[in-house]
């Protein structure tokens, strides 16, 4: 288990970071939305839950964040989901894997120097590396709005993605890394908190909150994934659709198909 030296300015003076230092951070990630506006269905032991039960299950799940760790250097970062211990399941590790047709489900590597990313996507016994250019956000730095997060003074920035998507971020100028959780980047300091809001029917909000931050150990490094077939998003979607169709055919033939 990693031992972290968490940096609280009210307990310790903040260290001076050089461009060669690796910073380690952990984020809580909440995915919040109006569950009553979705068409989700859940069954248990072959019994379909009522719409009211589904709404309660989804609402309860929103209260429990997923956790991600970020290793960040001057021009690179690696960001991956952390295993979560389920205290309601005799302490077992939660290893649920979600497969998407539009994005990866594993390690995300960003290279700010060549403006690219590699996102690991695994499923159906197949590994892919989704390669794409990093999105450029048109950040507006908000003057006069500051607060403190874990001892760091942070400043506010906003970005309008399109007619229904707005981002609010809080970044720390004293942590001079133009990076952040997930695909977000481009501010003059590490992003410590971020809310990406969708003004859609369900009012989705993707909420990232810093939980821990520390100077990395000497052995720590940003990890660039190497295993998997390199594809773009269009190629990945086509490949996954083919694998899903193949699995369905195998199941219809009574063959055990692995996820």
pLDDT (tens digit per residue) in 30-40: 998 888 877 77
* 236 in any annotated domain: yes
* 165 in any annotated domain: no
pLDDT of residue 126: 86
Q: What is the β-pairing status of strands 229-231 and 126-133?
A: parallel
Contact 26, 7 (CB under 8 A): no
Whole-number Å distance between alpha carbons of 240 and 231? 11
* 198 in any annotated domain: no
pLDDT of residue 255: 58
Whole-number Å distance between alpha carbons of 197 and 32? 10
pLDDT digits (tens, 9 = 90+) for 156-204: 999 999 999 999 999 999 999 999 999 999 999 999 999 999 988 888 9
Instruction: Give this prediction's pTM.
Output: 0.81
* 1 in any annotated domain: no
pLDDT of residue 117: 97
pLDDT of residue 111: 98
Whole-number Å distance between alpha carbons of 165 and 160? 6
pLDDT of residue 5: 41
pLDDT of residue 100: 60
CA atoms within 13 A on the CB side of 146: 9
* 258 in any annotated domain: no
* 83 in any annotated domain: yes
Residues of the chain with pLDDT below 50 are: 1-13, 15, 92-93, 95-96
* 161 in any annotated domain: no
Q: C-alpha distances in angstroms, 125 versus 196, 240, 243, 257?
A: 32, 11, 10, 9
Q: What's the structural domain count of the chain?
A: 1
Contact 151, 192 (CB under 8 A): no
Whole-number Å distance between alpha carbons of 174 and 26? 18
Domain residues for the domain of 71 are 23-135+203-252
* 178 in any annotated domain: no
Query: Euclidean distance between the first and final Cα of the chain, in Å?
Result: 28
Contact 83, 94 (CB under 8 A): yes
pLDDT of residue 13: 47
Q: How far is CA 33 from the centre of its chain?
A: 17
């Amino acid at each position: 288990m990693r031992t972290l030296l968490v940096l609280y300015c009210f307990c310790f003076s903040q260290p001076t970071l050089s461009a060669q230092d690796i910073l380690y951070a952990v984020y809580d990630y909440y995915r919040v939305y109006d569950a009553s506006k979705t068409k989700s269905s859940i069954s248990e032991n072959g019994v379909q839950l009522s719409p009211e039960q589904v709404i309660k299950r989804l609402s309860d799940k929103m209260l429990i964040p997923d956790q991600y760790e970020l290793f960040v250097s001057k021009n690179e970062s690696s960001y991956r989901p952390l295993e979560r211990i389920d205290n309601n399941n005799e302490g077992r590790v939660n290893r649920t894997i979600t497969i998407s047709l539009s994005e990866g489900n594993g390690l995300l590597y960003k290279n700010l120097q060549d403006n690219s990313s590699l996102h690991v996507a695994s499923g159906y016994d197949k590994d892919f590396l989704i390669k794409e250019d990093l999105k450029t956000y048109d950040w507006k730095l908000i003057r006069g709005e500051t607060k403190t997060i874990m001892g760091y003074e942070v400043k506010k920035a906003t970005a309008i993605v399109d007619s229904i998507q707005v981002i609010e971020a809080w970044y720390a100028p004293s942590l001079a890394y133009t990076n952040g959780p997930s695909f977000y980047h481009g501010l003059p300091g590490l992003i410590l908190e971020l809310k990406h809001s969708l003004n859609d029917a369900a009012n989705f909000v993707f909420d990232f909150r810093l939980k821990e931050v520390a100077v990395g150990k000497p052995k720590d490094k940003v990890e660039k994934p190497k295993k998997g077939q390199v594809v773009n998003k269009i190629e990945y979607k086509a490949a996954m659709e083919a694998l899903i169709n193949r699995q369905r055919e195998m199941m219809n033939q009574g063959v055990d198909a692995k996820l």
